[in-house]
Structure 1
């Protein structure tokens, strides 16, 4: 799928990974983007896996970088933004493979990512942002955008995952 064909879509997942947060991973109104397209088998002995491996499928509709989204301004009604959140992880880490790893320049990466997500949102469009603060506190991330969330929810076993909702100004 080319970036030009996204006009019929109303939702963008800017870094979809394995689409794990989606109930409908083939939703017809969404376009799934990621900079990776790969199938990876990693070591994982959790949950009694007899063979000690797990296979991840990262299959975006469009290869793209959330810092440079290939769509025109005001294209989407809703953008999901769940960027990598790990600063430290081994080269063969299950967590880094599944969630991605922040670059050394992560502050600028996330600043640009927020700016791009808001750019492609329609006026009064909604951005849903997900962040896990295991390594980087949410307040540090929110300092990277002038936009302010409307509301949010803390979740996860340790209360470290935050879901925030923003609305673009009209």
Structure 2
């Protein structure tokens, strides 16, 4: 059952790695995968336990439902299906451009007017410029150039009032 009182949605939460409170009651944690606690690397474990199992390109929530959306999609297209990086982060399919564009549209659809979307992207295989060309709007702000040893970008978007 979907809790309509939650203000935040994480559309592909995975193992909730960057959340300080992995059980935050104000967040609807979503992912297409479920995985019981599993050792993915010697002595390292992962668990994927979303509140709602769903595809971020077709979210089962009404328009204008959330104040904040978090979109941290898989960023690897060249990785083995059973590789620990695929288990930990997920894997993009052959139609990744369409998938990411549809995911962005869905995040904007479920956001309330003036709602905020936080987007995270790692440029390990696909440059950020290629990803941003898939989206219907440009970010308001974020880190344009990640640190030398870290290829991760954090960007902020806002839904328009009339959208």
Partner of 1:41: 39
Where 1:7 maps in the other structure, the secondary structure is coil
CA RMSD of aligned residues (A): 1.3
How far apart are residue 146 of structure 1 and its match? 1.2
For structure 2, the residue ranges without an aligned partner over 5 or more in a row are none
Partner of 1:78: 68
How many residue pairs were aligned?
Answer: 159
Tell me, in whole angstroms, the C-alpha distance in 1 between the residues paired with 2:87 and 2:17.
Answer: 13
Partner of 2:120: 130
Partner of 2:6: 9
Query: Which runs of structure 2 are paired with 1:96-135 in the superposition (5 Å)?
Result: 96-135=86-125
Tell me, in whole angstroms, the C-alpha distance in 2 between the residues paired with 1:117 and 1:79.
Answer: 6
Using structure 2 for the length normalisation, give the TM-score: 0.93
Does structure 1 retain, via aligned residues, the 8 Å contact 2:114–2:159? yes
* Greater helix content: 1
Using structure 1 for the length normalisation, give the TM-score: 0.89
CA deviations over 1:120-153 (Å, ceiling 9, x no partner): 0000000000000110110111111111100002
How far apart are residue 90 of structure 1 and its match? 1.8
Where 2:4 maps in the other structure, the secondary structure is helix
